Amino acid sequence: MNTEILVLEEKQIHQATETLVNAFSKDPIIEYILPEADNRKDKVSHNLWEATLRYAQPFNHIYTTPEIKGIAAWIPPGKYPLNLLQILQAGFYKTPFLLGLKALKKFLPIFTLFDKYHEQDMHQPHWYLFALGVSSACQSQGIGKSLIQPILERADEQNLPCYLETSTEKAVRFYQKNGFKILRAEEQPVKFWTMKRKPASS
């Protein structure tokens, strides 16, 4: 199936946020931080994904389909670690207030580990897959593969690796089919994996 891939425009961020909220509605990390019955879950999810997109949008490497069925947001080489001022400007400053203290205590250790492992394992310039999600009704149609292809091809041309974190075994298998290998498999406080793809020429 050939899927037309476009660069997301800023005016499409709200619709793209809805796509990611839907795609990650059963995400184990979000469910660990805020169980299903918690009425804050929807607001927190919208905040996290909109802020993610607003952070990545200036780099101009958010890819989507004409109907915004899926999103792949990349941080380009040389732009990690993330910039604190840009994080706040993107809207992440709202996240602690939306989470509340109990959920924040679950949230912070996970994302601290994400940063720790990322910095320890990726010393060279690389592409960072900040978010990849496909609307639940459109999964298993090859959209995810099509969304990441532009940067996988560019990374090969530039002889650069790619890096990501993910939280389901299904996603791990998907990424492995696209050339990624597991770097770390973490069990606590919630299961997640970090993965790296070497350029095809290496």
- The one-letter code for the residue type at 98 is L
With beta carbons less than 8 A apart as the criterion, state whether 155 and 199 touch.
yes
Beta strand 127-134 pairing with 162-166: parallel
Domain borders along the chain are: 6-162
The pLDDT of residue 90 is 98
Is the pLDDT confidence value at 102 over 60? yes
Whole-number Cα distances in Å, 51 to 27, 41, 93, 114:
17, 15, 9, 17
The pLDDT of residue 20 is 99
With beta carbons less than 8 A apart as the criterion, state whether 145 and 178 touch.
yes
- Fold classification of 6-162 is Aminopeptidase (3.40.630)
| The two structure tokens encoding residue 156 | 């090969």
Comparing 38 with 17, the larger pLDDT belongs to: 17
Residue range 142-197, pLDDT digits in tens = 999 999 999 999 999 999 999 999 999 999 999 999 999 999 999 988 999 999 99
The residue among 91, 4, 95 whose CA lies nearest residue 53 is: 91
